[in-house]
Amino acid sequence: MSLKVYNSLSRKKEEFKPITKGHVGMYVCGPTVSGESHLGHARPYITFDIVNRYLLYLGYKVRYVRNITDAGHFEEEGREAEDKISKKAQLEKIEPMELVQKYTNLFHWAMKEFNILDPNIEPTATGHIVEQITMIEKIIEAGYAYVSNGSVYFDVKKYAATHDYGKLSGRVIEDLLETTRHLDGQDEKRDKADFALWKAAPPQHIMRWKSPWGEGFPGWHIECSAMATKYLGVEFDIHGGGMDLLFPHHESEIAQSTICNHHTPAKYWLHNNMITIGGKKMGKSYNNVIKLTEMFSGNHPLLTQAFTPMTVRFFILQTHYRSTQDFSSEALVAAEKGLKRLWEGYEVLQKLPGTSIRLPVTGNRQPAADKDLEAQCSKLLAELDDFMNDDFNTAKVLANFFEMVPFINGIKDGHISMDALSSNTFQLMKTSFKLWLEDILGLKNPKENNPVLNSVMELLIEIRKESRENKDFATSDKIRNQLNKAGILLKDKKNGNISWEIL
RNA sequence: GGUCCUGUGGCCGAGUGGCUAGGCAGAGCUCUGCAAAAGCUUCUACAUCGGUUCGAAUCCGGUCAGGACCUCCA
């Protein structure tokens, strides 16, 4: 089974065929660094990290471009034609680029915490003003944009006459032309559906660039088109982003690029669904966001505790990327426990010695039940590729791994014979856990490893072991209780071993 | 108002015509100096009404409920 992806353009799953054999070009709309990233932002970056990792696993050479939006194109914020970044900068009395740097750093920190692979190119909007201006000029030359009071608008009506404006979002052009809303700069436009390619900057606007039409700043959609074209060409494989960007952002990108480059920019449009909270989309406008720093610190009224980046990553992977995913502290707690159980199974597996009897397995050595186990295991392992090939179904992949955990524990506890699995299957299971959990799903050990603490704990555990052997329970209980107060949990295993974890 | 999507057991969530999803919680058991942890086993589903079919959570239609986009948004 080959890779199938759901293409928002056709609204169905399509077989993935790269434009250039062996290579994939992917563009994903990155963050707007005018503020701190929140939980909702984590989803697209984790989703497309999975896409990236899986394509790499399939052997493609991937060029993954994810931009940083650091230029103003946020017109009509609060009915004022003002750029969000410069507005906030004035409030905080710092340079806009200082603010941009601060939030970019925070974003990069979060990406690292989530174990997200770096994109190959991370272009910034401010670094590509020239490309954007060039593109706008081409669109004007082609006759699909017009200048009005120092701003440039895309002529949607003209475009729609010969092209399908709405092919991606399903929007009907007639409806768009009848919009009744009153927006700033509306009178500059020929039609209400027209969107800005370039906006003239009012005098107080800090972020501004010279252009053939006067000083101003680029419109909302042009940056992605310009940067995608520059680094991936006029036609590339995948364009990703959140579903809320379908219209008008991606629809407009298609229109601009089609006029400028005579190509529909991307072959496959992939969109992740939203994270909701109490059934409502998490977003700035709803004032219900939980910032990532708050997630990781637990410092938010809706959080009962702090959650690690890996818990959040795992939580997101448990849901298919095109479904909405409802956030609650309870759901995160469940994810945390699930990940722990899965990871412990993985660690136990890596320590198991493997089948002792190498073969040749004479037919009757294994009882019938073990043949079932062998078959079950092989099936669970073989299905992994199919699940991912089916539009990246990480939830099913995880479910299969969970189903293998009891087998591992069974072998560890001796319920299941070490020889129940063939050497081949056992080894495959070992390598599959690592390959899938770590490399493809990008999960990491949820526990921190601190070598100093490790050696201290080793000592304490040694002392406690001795006291238990001597039936000096006062000492052993003291160690256990004091550690518990300090936030460390000791677990007595039945073989006399003791393990520990930080609560 | 227009376009589109969703409704699964206490919670989260896979699943598109017949086959146990999975996780968390609950219950029982095992282990144990005590405890915790862990492991094993296990109960509770498919919004509602009608239709198609030998058979539907899964397809079709109605109803109800919720949501997204149409404005900055991941």
Is the peptide bond preceding residue A360 cis, with omega within 30 degrees of 0?
yes
Residues 110-169 of A with CB under 7 A from strand B: 169
Residue A278 DSSP one-character state: T
- Boundary (domain end) residue, out of A255, A272, A289: A272
Instruction: Quote the pLDDT of residue A359.
Output: 38
Cβ neighbours of A379 (radius 10 Å): 11
* Whole-number Cα distances in Å, A146 to A216, A256, A470: 15, 13, 89
A90, A167: one domain: yes
- Is A287 among the domain residues? no
Q: What is the ipTM of this complex?
A: 0.94
DSSP state of A240: E
In a domain, A51, yes or no: yes
The number of beta carbons lying within 10 Å of the beta carbon of residue A255 is 28
Question: Which of A227, A244, A272 is the last residue in one of the domains?
Answer: A272
Q: Is residue A353 part of a domain?
A: yes
Q: How many CB atoms lie within 10 A of CB A449?
A: 7
Q: State residue A454's pLDDT score.
A: 80
A317 contacts A394 by C-beta, under 8 angstroms? yes
As a whole number of angstroms, the distance between CA A146 and CA A349 comes to 65
Give strand letter and number of the nucleotide nearest A415 (CA to C1'): B40
Whether residue A318 is contained in a domain is answered as no
Same domain, A366 and A485: no
Shortest CA to C1' contact from A493: nucleotide: B38
Give nearest nucleotide to A323 (CA–C1').
B6
Question: Do A395 and A468 belong to one domain?
Answer: no
Residue-level pLDDT at A71: 85
Q: State, as a whole number of angstroms, the distance between the CA of A87 and the C1' of B61.
A: 52
DSSP bridge partners of A239: A27, A269
Measured CA to CA, the distance from residue A499 to residue A458 in angstroms comes to 9
Question: Å from A465 (CA) to B33 (C1')?
Answer: 13
> What DSSP designation does A201 have?
P
Handedness of CA A228, A9, A253, A110 (dihedral sign): negative
Token representation of residue A240: 């990703």
Assess if residue A215 is contained within a domain: yes
Of A residues 69-98, those with CB within 7 angstroms of nucleic strand B are 69, 73-77, 84
What is the C-alpha separation between A51 and A240, in angstroms, rounded?
10
The C1' atom of B47 and the CA atom of A405 lie apart, in whole Å, by 35
Same domain? A70 vs A136: yes
Whether A391 and A418 map to the same domain: the answer is yes
The reply to whether A267 Cβ lies less than 7 angstroms from strand B is no
Protein-nucleic contacts, chain A 442-481 to strand B, CB < 7 Å: 468, 473, 476-477, 480
Q: Say whether both A36 and A157 belong to one domain.
A: yes
Range of the domain at A257: 4-272
Whether the CB of A335 is less than 7 Å away from nucleic strand B comes out as yes
Q: Which of residues 199-228 of A touch strand B (CB under 7 A)?
A: 220
Residue A319 lies in a domain: no
CA of A413, C1' of B1: distance in angstroms? 64
Residues in chain A: 503
So what's the pLDDT on residue A492?
79
Q: Do A264 and A383 have their domain in common? A: no
* pLDDT of amino acid A91: 64
Say whether both A489 and A352 belong to one domain: no
In a domain, A299, yes or no: no
Check which CATH number belongs to the domain holding A232 and give it: 3.40.50.620
Give me the CA A393–C1' B16 separation in Å, rounded. 15
**Number of domains comprising chain A:** 3
A308 CB-to-strand B distance under 7 Å: no
Determine whether the distance from the CB of A314 to the nearest atom of strand B is below 7 Å: no
* Residue A429 and residue A475 share a domain: no
Query: Do A104 and A191 fall within a single domain?
Result: yes
CB A441 within 8 A of CB A478: no
Which pLDDT belongs to residue A77? 32
Q: Which nucleotide is nearest to A28 (CA to C1')?
A: B74
Torsion of CA A25, A167, A176, A324, to 10 degrees: -70
Q: Are strands A145-148 and A61-66 parallel, antiparallel or unpaired?
A: unpaired
Q: Is A298 helix (H, G, I), strand (E, B) or coil?
A: coil
Contact call for residues A488 and A500 (beta carbons, < 8 A): yes
Would you state the pLDDT for residue A84? 66
Spatial separation of the C-alpha atoms in residues A437 and A240, rounded to whole Å = 23
**Residue A134 burial by Cβ neighbours in a 10 Å radius (0-12, 13-18, 19+):** middle
Cβ pair A388, A440 in contact under 8 A: yes
Same domain as A233, residue A115: yes
CA of A494 to C1' of B36 (A): 13
Please give the average pLDDT of every successive group of 10 residues along chain A, which has 503 residues.
Answer: 91 94 97 92 97 98 96 43 62 75 94 97 96 97 95 94 91 74 66 91 84 93 96 97 95 96 95 93 90 93 91 96 94 93 92 57 44 88 94 96 92 82 90 96 82 83 86 87 82 75 75
Q: Which helix (H) or strand (E) holds A179?
A: none
Measured CA A378 to C1' B8 distance, in angstroms: 29
Q: How far, in Å, CA of A75 to CA of A501, rounded?
A: 50
Nucleotides of B under 7 A from a protein CB: 1-4, 11-15, 21-25, 31-41, 66-74
> What pLDDT is recorded for position A307?
92
Cα gap A457→A488, rounded to integer Å: 10
Kindly state whether residues A109 and A209 are assigned to the same domain.
yes
Residue A304 CB lies within 7 Å of the nucleic strand B: no
Q: How far is the CA of A396 from the C1' of B57 (A)?
A: 18
Q: How far is the CA of A392 from the C1' of B11 (A)?
A: 25
Residue where the block lists tokens 């190509």 = A263
Helix, strand, coil shares, percent, chain A, to 5: 50, 15, 35
Preceding amide of A248 cis, omega within 30:
yes
Instruction: Specify the nucleotide whose C1' lies closest to residue A284 (CA).
Output: B73
pLDDT for the residue numbered A484:
82
Distance A386 CA to B60 C1' (A): 30
In a domain, A69, yes or no: yes
